[in-house]
Every structure is written in structure tokens, then in C-alpha cells.
Amino acid sequence: MKVLILGATGHVGSRLHTHLQTTDISSIAASRGRMRSNVPNHVILDSMNLPELTKQLQNVDAVVNCVAGSKDSIGTGAQILTQAALAAGKPTIVHLSTMSVYGASEGIITEQSSFDPDYNWYAAAKCEAENHMQAYAQAGGKVIVFRPGCIHGPNSVQWVERIARLLEAFRLGDLGNAGDGWSNLVHVDDVVKAIHLGLEMPLGAGEIQHFNLAAPDSPRWNQYFIDLAQAIGATPVKRIHPQQLKLDSKAFSPAIKISQKILEKAGQKKLANQLPEPLPPSLVRLFKQHIFLDAQKISSQLSFMPYQESLTSSVEWLKHEHS
């Protein structure tokens, strides 16, 4: 089987490409620019360019869509992908969506739960992308959609490195009620395994399958923060007052964000990177959102990495990065 990976420089895409090298699936890593290191089977491809993308898709059996970025590259990108795929003979699409499509929903969320595109721009873009996938299936294509929770493990800047920095600065810790939401963590290798599984899943023409991805033993955010803080020595873990969190996300962090943008525009990227980590209000909202991503549908085919093991893997990567 021949597979094209879009967004192959990203967290999941690059790990998937590396993984597939060890299997009998032949993968082509596609990215807009050059890869940082020498990667086998790499093509430079602008996934927003319909003719170019169609040409690439004519040579593969399946495409994995790991494209991240702006609203357009997610929403319109998915539209272009489905158009290209239709023109190229309908290869299978494995589409990496997100739990953000469920927006502000709380409680146990299965694949049948309703979407909430009004939640924020990201949810809107991801919902739009999924709608295009749905339309592709209706047109006779085969689609597998994965909706992962928060992807951690090695190279997870968002859910490991950023959180670690905030813990070290004692801006995160035990948040009490404000950190009582489920973390819905899923290890990047489990996402890769799931995509591999998706590529080999027998589907009929016009069939679409959706799967949530979150380790069933993934803890609440507070527990993750306390465990990670202890593992990296950001102790004693501090109980963060809700007012501190509010002040941080609504006053301090916007100021950091603005400063970052100004410095970047002034060509001072290095200096911008030295600023403290922003703690956006959307993240603070997520920490208290009681959303439990139910991944039972895929559990019979995929055994998730136990939480302790995935935490150790994240911490080892973090320590290696910092050493």
C-alpha cells in the first residue's frame, strides 16, 4: 500500500512517517517546505494547490491528512483534498480531526455526540473539514476520521513542553475546580497506531468511520499537572488560586502575546521566544471542561498506552530536550 502523508513535518505526521518505514506500507511525506532533517520519501507539496495535490494522489492508495494551521488550511484545505481525491480516483482518506469538534460539550462524549462549531474558530474549521470528509464519502470515497484528545508524548510542545514550563513557573499546579476537567490525553504513538489501523481497515465504497482517541485511564488535568510537576521537580506543587488564573489568562498572557507579536514583527524572534509562556483563556476553559472522550469504539482494536507509561515517555523526552 502506498500512502501520502499531508502535514508530515508536524507532530503526528512526522512520527507516522517514521513508523510506517518499519511496515510494509510505503509512505510519502509531503510538506510545504523542506524537512528539518533528511527524511526518506519526501516531497515538497502545497496541499492547497489542487492540480499538484491531484497529481500526487493519483499515485497512492490512501492519504493521511495531518494538516494543521490556520482556519483556511484546515477547512479549505480539506475541501481541496476531497476534490483532488475525487479527481484522482478516490483514494482512502484518513483524516485527523480533533475532540474540539464537540466544542463546549460536557459529560461522556461518543462519536455520535453533536458538533459545536460555534465554540471557537478552531472548532469551526475542524467541523468544516469533517463536513467535507462526509461529502467525500457520500460521493463514494472511503474515509476514516480520528478525533484525538490532547496528544502528548515525545515532541508534544503543546501538552508537555508548554505545560511543563507553566508548572516550573508555578503558574499551573493543582487548580482545584478549575482543573477538574478530563485531560483526554492520548500518546502520539497511539495516534500513529490508530492511523496505521485505519489505513488497513477494510471499508466499502462510500463508507465513513469516526473514532475518538483518548486513553481510557487518562486523568483529570489536576492529576496530570501534579504528576508532571513532580516528575520534573517543579515542587512543591502549588494550589493555584482562581483569581491568579484569571489574572494570568486575561491580563498577563494577552500582554505576553502582544509583546511576542511586536517582537516577531521587529525581527526579534529570538527575543520573542524568551518571553514567558502565554496561558490563553481557551486553555483555562479547557482545564475545567468536564468532557470525557469515550474511545470505546476503537478500544477493541487498539490497546492504549497506560497513563503512567505515557507520562514517563513524555518526561523522558522533556528531560532529553533540556539536557
Partner 1 sequence: MISILNNLPSGSVIEADICIIGAGAAGISQALALSGRGLKILLLESGFEFADDKTQHLYAGEVADEKLHSPPDKYRQRRFGGSTTIWGGRCMPFDPIDFEQRDYVPHSGWPLKYQDLAPYYQKANQLLEAGMYEYDADKVFDADAHAAIKGFKSDIVKTNNLERFSCPTNVGDRYKQRLLVAKDIDILLGANCTGIRLNQTGNHVDHLDIASLQGVKAMVRAKKIILATGGIETTRLLLNSNDVCKNGIGNEHDLVGRYYQCHIAGNLGKLTVKGPTNVVRHGYEISPEGIYCRRRFALTAETQKKIKAGNMVARLHFPKIVDPSHKIGVLSGLFLAKNFISYEYGKRLKDGNSSLGIYLKHFANIILDPIDTIKFLYHWITKRTLAKRKFPSVILNNKSNQFTFEIHGEQYPNPDSRITLINETDELGMRKVKVDWKYMPEDIESIRRSLKLFVQEINQSGLATFEFDDDKLEEDLTRFGAYGGHHIGTTRMGTNPETSVVDVNCKLHNVDNLYIASASVFPTSSQANPTLTIVAMSLRLADHIAQTLNAGKSSHSII
List contacts with partner 1 (CB under 8 A): 106-108, 173-174, 176-177, 180, 216, 226, 229-230, 235-242, 288, 290, 292, 294, 296
Least distance between partner 1 and beta carbon 220 (Å): 9
| C-alpha closest to that of 15 among 122, 96, 101 | 96
In the chain, the largest separation of any two C-alpha atoms, in whole Å, equals 58
Looking at beta carbons only, is 289 or 314 nearer to partner 1? 289
Least distance between partner 1 and beta carbon 319 (Å): 17
Looking at beta carbons only, is 52 or 294 nearer to partner 1? 294
Least distance between partner 1 and beta carbon 311 (Å): 14
List phi, psi (to 5°) of 14. Answer: -70, -40
Please give the distance of CA 47 from its chain centroid, rounded to a whole number: 18
Looking at beta carbons only, is 106 or 309 nearer to partner 1? 106
Least distance between partner 1 and beta carbon 222 (Å): 9
Return left, alpha or beta for 301; rule: phi > 0 is left, psi -120 to 50 is alpha, else beta.
alpha
The alpha-helical segments, DSSP class H, found in the chain are: 11-20, 50-57, 71-87, 121-138, 162-168, 188-200, 221-232, 242-247, 253-265, 269-273, 281-287, 296-299, 307-322
Least distance between partner 1 and beta carbon 235 (Å): 4
Buried b (16+ CB within 10 A) or exposed e, 67-90: bbeeeebbbbbbbbbbbbbbebeb
Please give the distance of CA 221 from its chain centroid, rounded to a whole number: 17
Does residue 75 contact residue 128 with C-beta atoms inside 8 Å? yes
Least distance between partner 1 and beta carbon 287 (Å): 12
Looking at beta carbons only, is 63 or 215 nearer to partner 1? 215
Looking at beta carbons only, is 10 or 181 nearer to partner 1? 181
| C-alpha closest to that of 154 among 278, 311, 6 | 311
Buried b (16+ CB within 10 A) or exposed e, 99-132: bbbbbebeeebebebebbbebeebbbbbbbbbbb
Least distance between partner 1 and beta carbon 297 (Å): 13
Looking at beta carbons only, is 60 or 167 nearer to partner 1? 167
Looking at beta carbons only, is 77 or 103 nearer to partner 1? 103
